[in-house]
Amino acid sequence: MVKPRALGPGDRLAIVAPASPFSRDEFDRGVEELRALGFDPVYDDSVFAKARYLSGPADVRAAAIRRAWLDPSIAGVVAVRGGYGSAQVLPFLDRDEARHARKPFIGYSDLTSVLTFLTLGCELVAFHGPMLDRRLARGADGYDRESFLNAICRREPIGELAASGVETINAGEASGPIFGGTLTQLVSSLGTPFAFAPPGGYVLFLEEVGERPYRLDRMVTQLRQAGLLARAAAVVIGELPACDEPTGDPTARAVMADLFHDFPGPVLVGFPSGHTTGPSLTLPLGVRCRVVASARPCLVIEEAAVE
């Protein structure tokens, strides 16, 4: 894997909108948070484009990303929000430009499409981390500053990432490069030129929001039937907020426990990255990690994500 260059104080971060439109108030507060962290956020008027449920035409959204990669004054790229539309920009992106630029790309949710393009299509480490909308805009209530800065700025392994809500479904310990993101985007990519196709022995990270248990079952079943679970050494599942049945039974976690009961490696659930009820941890994708599924479950990032 190619690693992005580490970010530092004063670095210019390009703000892009590959998916849905957003609240200007959330945008402005997210910009202020990036400034408070010591970065210099920059953007042009194209970020505010709107076309129904999209932030402008796909080629315009993709062009903003490519400009950021090609501009030597830009050190990294962060997305505004998810929603829908990121998959549409993929045919307009250039793998060689992304690899040569070596710039951290930060996003989650619908941005899983771009994260997969970068990590598996370009073999470039990328970051399942906070966007402006609902995360950076809310400061310490929206995202975990320590893991964010350690991931994108520190030329050393992040080390242990643990949280009180993480539970063990299957006990054990395993290591491998971690790939994944939002479950809907992972399964939507299958059968396309941008398919989620990780190597054998990988750690699967998956998370979701607002999907009822039977829909989670359907998507995990698709991953299984596509052979993607058989390649995995371990599985790390997110918090799954708003995914329980409206009546409360079954819960999303109970369904995941059933779906992964026969998985041969360790499985964790409740890892707070992406869609979370509290501060979201930043997870570098494409680096080696160790999954510890025990009485004290955690994820250990064993490799630096930047250099």
Do residues 77 and 65 touch, judged by C-beta distance below 8 A?
Answer: yes
Closest CA to 4 of 87, 119, 171: 119
Class of residue 45 by CB neighbours under 10 A (exposed 0-12, middle 13-18, buried 19+):
exposed
Choose, from 26, 33, 207, 211, the residue flagged as catalytic: 207
Q: Within 10 A of 197 (CB to CB), how many other CB atoms are there?
A: 15
Choose, from 113, 189, 275, 280, the residue flagged as catalytic: 275
Choose, from 55, 86, 109, 280, the residue flagged as catalytic: 109
| Exposure string for 282-305, b = 16+ CB within 10 A, e = fewer | bbbbbbbbbbbbeeebbbbbebbb
Do residues 156 and 164 touch, judged by C-beta distance below 8 A?
Answer: no
User: Annotated catalytic, 207?
Assistant: yes
Alpha carbon distance 222, 228 (integer Å): 9
Tokens describing residue 227: 């052979």
Tokens describing residue 204: 């699967």
User: Annotated catalytic, 109?
Assistant: yes
Alpha carbon distance 156, 306 (integer Å): 8
Closest CA to 82 of 128, 146, 29: 128
User: Annotated catalytic, 275?
Assistant: yes
Do residues 14 and 64 touch, judged by C-beta distance below 8 A?
Answer: yes
The residue written with tokens 């939002």 in the block is 182
Closest CA to 301 of 289, 287, 283: 289
Do residues 82 and 20 touch, judged by C-beta distance below 8 A?
Answer: yes
Closest CA to 267 of 241, 242, 299: 299
Residues forming the active site: 109, 207, 275
